[in-house]
């Protein structure tokens, strides 16, 4: 592996599943509708807001997304062009609800025609063969960043792709998948940047790929290929609730990537990154699967002090190599998650949680499933300045002190005390023992329903 770079079926039954998930997660502040025929309570997913005390995103003004949208700002979209139109200008803070029906392919033009990497490269002068020749370490060396004609061409091609696949989300927006339609975005990125109050729910994000990775010979001991585009990226965003989504590299896994200069040609970046002073974020009941660098909290060791406050609960992490999450600086509460770290689709564990740059992590009542060959000491990672407090964590059903196991095997010790106490803990379960079963049916896209 390349060295790590730190840069139920029936309608009534489904209603009961959703109700159980809502209660467990502390969700209930949205619009509730009584189903007179069934005698049960159903949830209006599109207007639903984050419940009180449900993680950091409930702090202060809370997170309501587009709940106050009028009919003129309520959209149903099925194509890339429709999504772009519904999002409108990122400076327009009018509340809006965007219902995604079916799977939107970001790599299409306004008429719906498929766009390829070759389309983005056309007219830029970039070609992979020329790029590889220009920056071969045997001739270019390893001491300086790639620069010159081909690097400029690569950057231009990358900008053309970004213009097509990056969707900029305004403040006061709810983007919600329509139940029963396999709602999601493939090949694209939601960019939530310097805006407040956004909800993202019930969507599958797949195959977010960079056509033009950049070679950095100075990254690590042997250099690395670095890509752009997270499936969802938060940059300076506040009050964001990501709920019941699925994130995956499928159908293109890393095992299919070629190798150049002895390093994997990495076309995937993050699944859900929270950086550049983002704050007050709740990430709950999602599935993160088949991915390498999954969730980054803090873009560097000098990201914003006093921010990066994130709650991560009741998620499934399966086939994740690292960054689940990698945390810097902030106050991060990680509770009631299920980590299945056995190998999947060629993705082998490096670590789950990394606490560095003085991060203050509380990891509480989580469950890890490991294989016989995997060491408990590899579940955590750090740089010697971060903290991980907490209790009730289970490994294969057995109570385990994760920090003690890590510290016994590492010279860069993780601290065991933090400077804060979590209070926004709606839905916190005092035992992790049932999480593998419970979260199998209550997480990810496709679980929620309006009926």
Which residues are known catalytic residues?
323
Total residue count of the chain as it appears in this document: 451
Q: Half-sphere exposure (CA, 13 Å, Cβ side) for 441?
A: 13
Q: Output the CA–CA distances (angstroms, integers) from residue 103 to 182, 286, 445, in the order listed.
A: 6, 18, 12
Tokens 């006093």 sit on residue? 306
Q: What is the DSSP letter of 352?
A: S
Cα(90)–Cα(84) distance, rounded to whole angstroms? 11
Q: Six-digit token pair at 203?
A: 């969507």
Cα(283)–Cα(428) distance, rounded to whole angstroms? 14
Cα(197)–Cα(280) distance, rounded to whole angstroms? 10
Q: Six-digit token pair at 391?
A: 């209790």
User: Number of helices and strands (H, E) in the chain?
Assistant: 8, 34
Q: Provide DSSP, 406-419.
A: HHHH-SSPPBS--S
DSSP E strands in 237-315: the ranges are: 238-243, 246-248, 259-260, 263-264, 272-275, 279-284, 287-293, 296-297, 310-313
Cα(171)–Cα(194) distance, rounded to whole angstroms? 9
> What are the φ/ψ torsions at residue 317 (nearest 5 degrees)?
-120, 115
């Amino acid at each position: 592996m390349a060295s790590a770079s730190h840069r139920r079926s029936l309608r009534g039954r489904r209603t009961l599943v959703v109700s159980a998930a809502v209660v467990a997660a502390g969700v209930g502040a949205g619009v509730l509708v009584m189903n007179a025929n069934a005698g049960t309570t159903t949830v209006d997913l599109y207007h639903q807001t984050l419940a009180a005390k449900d993680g950091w995103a409930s702090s202060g003004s809370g997170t309501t997304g587009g709940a106050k949208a009028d009919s003129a700002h309520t959209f149903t979209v099925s194509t890339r062009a429709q999504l772009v139109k519904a999002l409108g200008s990122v400076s327009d803070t009018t509340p809006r609800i965007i219902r995604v029906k079916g799977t939107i392919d970001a790599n299409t033009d306004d008429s719906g025609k498929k766009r390829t990497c070759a389309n983005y490269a056309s007219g830029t002068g970039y070609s992979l063969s020329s790029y590889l020749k220009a920056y071969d370490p045997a001739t270019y060396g390893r001491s300086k960043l790639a620069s010159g004609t081909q690097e400029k061409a690569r950057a231009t091609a990358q900008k053309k792709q970004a213009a097509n696949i990056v969707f900029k989300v305004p403040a006061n927006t709810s983007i919600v998948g329509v139940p029963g339609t396999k709602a999601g975005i493939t090949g694209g990125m939601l960019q939530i940047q310097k805006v407040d109050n956004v909800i993202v729910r019930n969507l599958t994000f797949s195959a977010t790929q960079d056509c033009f990775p950049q070679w950095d010979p100075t990254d690590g001991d042997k250099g690395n290929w670095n890509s752009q585009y997270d499936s969802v990226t938060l940059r300076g965003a506040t009050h964001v609730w990501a709920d019941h989504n699925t994130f995956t590299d499928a159908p293109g896994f890393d095992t299919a990537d070629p190798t150049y200069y002895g390093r994997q040609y990495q076309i995937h970046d993050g699944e859900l990154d929270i950086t550049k002073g983002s704050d007050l974020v709740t990430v709950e009941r999602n599935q993160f699967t088949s991915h390498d660098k999954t969730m980054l909290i803090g873009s560097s060791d000098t990201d914003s002090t006093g921010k990066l406050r994130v709650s991560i609960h009741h998620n499934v992490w399966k086939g994740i190599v690292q960054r689940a999450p990698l945390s810097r600086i902030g106050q991060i509460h990680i509770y009631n998650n299920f980590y299945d770290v056995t190998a999947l689709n060629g993705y082998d564990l490096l670590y789950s949680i990394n606490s560095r740059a003085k991060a203050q992590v509380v990891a509480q009542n989580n469950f890890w499933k490991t294989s016989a060959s995997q060491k408990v000491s590899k579940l955590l990672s750090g740089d010697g300045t971060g903290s991980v407090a907490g209790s009730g964590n289970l490994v294969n059903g057995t109570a385990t002190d994760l920090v003690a196991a890590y510290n016994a095997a590492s010279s860069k010790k993780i601290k065991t005390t933090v400077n804060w106490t979590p209070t926004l803990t709606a839905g916190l379960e005092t035992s992790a023992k049932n999480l593998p079963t419970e979260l199998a049916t209550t997480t990810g896209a496709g679980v929620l329903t309006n009926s």
